Structure 1
Amino acid sequence: MTTTSSPRIVVLAGGLSHERDVSLRSGRRVADALRSVGVDVSVHDVDSDLVPALVQLQPDLVWPLLHGTSGEDGSVRDVVQMLGLRLLGAGPRESRVAWSKPIAKTVVSRAGLSTPDFVTLPQSLFRELGARHVLDVIVARLGLPLVIKPSRGGSALGVTLVTSPDDLPQAMVDCFAYSDTALVETAVVGTEVAVSVVDIGDGPFALPPVEIVTDGPYDYDARYNPGRTEYFAPARLSQDVSRSVIGAALAAHRALGLEGISRTDLIVDEAGTVWFLEVNVAPGMTETSLLPQAAEAAGLSLGALYRSMVDAALSR
């Protein structure tokens, strides 16, 4: 859908999380794309000048492109709504649920999606019970290999694939550098796929799945430095499996009550089972990010797509 007048948009980018640089790159890319189709856009950091700026500007819409805690835990979105301004994307409560990987996995599993078996363990528990005893129980219960990741956060920061019990202690230390709670889940071997969901006025729909192939872990460096990772958009999946991953992403989007935009990360195992890993309510929009690649694979102009998303958010 389109409108004849140009809305005033504020893109929020930056913040103080570990993912600040990625957020700034995402914000600039989206702002440039919207300006290319004649939209009035300004980009603002999350600092002491933000609230006065929003009060003065009174934009028609605020688009949070903040990665990490304040941008995805619902807090900044709460402030935007308390100022009486509209948001593009998930509301504060829905964002908080999706931001917590263990809660999101629980919600989507109740909706019928498969997700790897997992436990959530705070750092304090290791101190109280003894790290070695807890780690032994984890291996006995979940087996190996395991994925250790912060219970909240993105860009694969603090994430480790563990194939040997000897590597578990260091993996936990790396995880706790980014969060005081670790999500430990059974590692699923298969094809990594990301499915982006957007809404341009007729309800959520999925962009083509993107397949991720990397030599080694799909870590921060592999995500944001060109050359480390090979992407296939659309993913090299059979029609049936492609429909399954799209269905899983849409089901997760709806089960979590999301709006406007999301990206769901999945793995397809050798049997064709689709496993939900996590969902992102503020997916990256950099030159190597998955949503822009999916849009281009669908033959969509990024400027036109983002403008339609803006118009849809304003019409809700």
Structure 2
Amino acid sequence: MRILLIAGGWSNEREVSLSGAAQIEKALSRLGHQVTPFDPLPGFDGLIETAKDHDFAFLNLHGSPGEDGLIQAMLDAAGVPYQGSGPKASFLALHKAATKQICRAEGIPTPNWAFVPVVPAAGWLCPLAYPLFVKPNNGGSSVDMQRVDSAEKLGPALDALFSKGKEALLEEAAPGFEMTCAVLGEEALPTILITPKLSGEFFDYRSKYEDGGADEICPAPVDDDLNARVRELALRAHLALGCEGYSRSDFIVTESGPVLLETNTLPGMTATSLVPKAAAAAGMSFDELIARLIELGLARSARRQRAQAAAEDVTDIFADEDI
């Protein structure tokens, strides 16, 4: 197939996106596909025209655009299939406050939070207990995330985000250890236990992307009940958000059990990324993972086309009755 490999973009996760795309391009070539790299940063205005000359688009974007559903919506408009979730699930998952509302409504535990999209009014008091994390509401890779231990430090942390035009999500720190679980199709892959080595506080950007930044053990050496619980919650979050193809959900395991931090619809695909590691533990090579994602993307496109055809048939029936 002629595959448009979309990576780069203009978020602060651009370099991570390009790094993963280099490995994806090699895998696509080994699978026999003709690959055209496409970077939305210089080429956005030609996206739909370029996409229409291809059979499939493979996205490796992080942050906005990409994880926000914009590129997916444009590809849908162009009639070009792609891997992963559609626009709706992509937007909901990237918006951390929306994700937490949806998951809590579905009985999926998540730490208490406060959504702060603009500079708070004078006299505003944070409703959460310290310590807490201050995160970009629409970001990933732990970029610009800070741990705040007191009210005196909260203001500067919020100012740092607002100065970059970002919305803030405040989240109570949940003491425990971190696990993550990917979903492929509608099956939870082996879980991963994460222990940061470069930062003692949390799984930050350096721990995620520098060699030796963290110990990532897959399958996670935890008891069967906890393993099953994390896999169950990852699949429930995937379905609650309407994700398709694949996703990866991150958890903190507290004394009372795992709590969901976030769900990623375009998880990282670098040499140190977690989804390829989980797939390998399930007996799947990187190339096989890429091939499976394409297969799932084509199946999603076929379902969408059938649904559109059925809707058009219903419209035609009612139109005939009006006559």
Same fold (TM over 0.5): yes
Residues 67/177 of structure 1: CA separation in 2 closer, same or farther (3 Å cut): farther
Alpha-carbon separation, structure 2, partners of 1:280 and 1:23? 14
Which segments of 5 or more consecutive residues in structure 2 lack a partner in the other structure?
301-323
In 1, distance between residues paired with 2:150 and 2:44?
47
Q: Does 1:142 find its partner at 2:133?
A: no
Equivalents in 1 of 2:88, 2:117: separation in Å?
A: 23
Write the deviation string for residues 280-299 of structure 1: whole angstroms up to 9, x where unpaired: 11111111111111112222
* Number of the residue aligned with 2:4: 10
Deviations 1:238-282 (A, max 9, x none): 1110010001010000000111111111111123x1101111111
Match of 1:171 among 157, 170, 187: 157
Which SS does the other structure have where 1:185 is aligned?
strand
Q: Distance in 2 between matches of 1:286 and 1:173?
A: 32
Match of 2:58 in 1: 63
One-letter amino acid of the counterpart of residue 72, structure 2? R
Distance change in 2, residues 1:50/1:144 (3 Å): closer
Alpha-carbon distance, 1:177 to partner: 4.4
Provide the rounded CA distance (Å) in 2 between the counterparts of 1:183 and 1:13: 26
SS state of the match for residue 179, structure 2? strand
Match of 2:318 in 1: none
1:46-96 residue CA offsets vs partner (Å, 9 max, x unmatched):
145356465356222112211111111111211111112112111112211
Seen in structure 2, the aligned counterparts of structure 1 residues 187 and 82 have a Cα distance that, compared at 3 Å, is same
Aligned residue among 113, 119, 122 for 2:117: 122
- Secondary structure at 2:26 match in 1: helix
TM-score for the superposition, normalised by structure 1:
0.88
1:4 paired residue number: none
Q: Name the counterpart of 1:35.
A: 29
Q: Which residue of 1 aligns with 2:271?
A: 287
Q: For 2:181, what is the secondary structure of its paired residue?
A: strand
Rate the CA distance shift 1:288–1:178 in 2: closer, same or farther, 3 A: farther
SS at the partner of 2:37? strand
Match of 1:98 in 2: 93
Q: Which moves more between the two structures, 48-57 or 251-260? A: 48-57
Where structure 1 has 5 or more consecutive residues not aligned to the other structure, the ranges are 1-6
Does residue 306 of the first structure (1) align with residue 306 of the second (2)? no
Write the letter of the residue equivalent to 1:109: R
User: Please, which of 142, 145, 166 is the counterpart of residue 156 of structure 1?
Assistant: 142
What residue number does 2:230 align with? 245
| TM-score relative to the length of structure 2 | 0.86
How many angstroms does 1:38 deviate by?
2.2
One-letter identity of the residue aligned with 2:252 = I
1:250-269 matched pairs, under 5 angstroms: 250-269=235-254
**Alignment partner, residue 80 of structure 2:** 85
For the Cα contact (< 8 Å) 2:40–2:47, is it kept in 1?
no
Q: From the superposition, tell whether residues 24 and 177 of structure 1 become closer, same or farther in structure 2 (CA, over 3 Å).
A: farther
Cα RMSD (Å) = 1.8
Aligned positions, number: 296
The answer as to 2:39 corresponding to 1:45 is yes
CA deviations over 1:6-44 (Å, ceiling 9, x no partner): x32212100011010000011111221222232332221
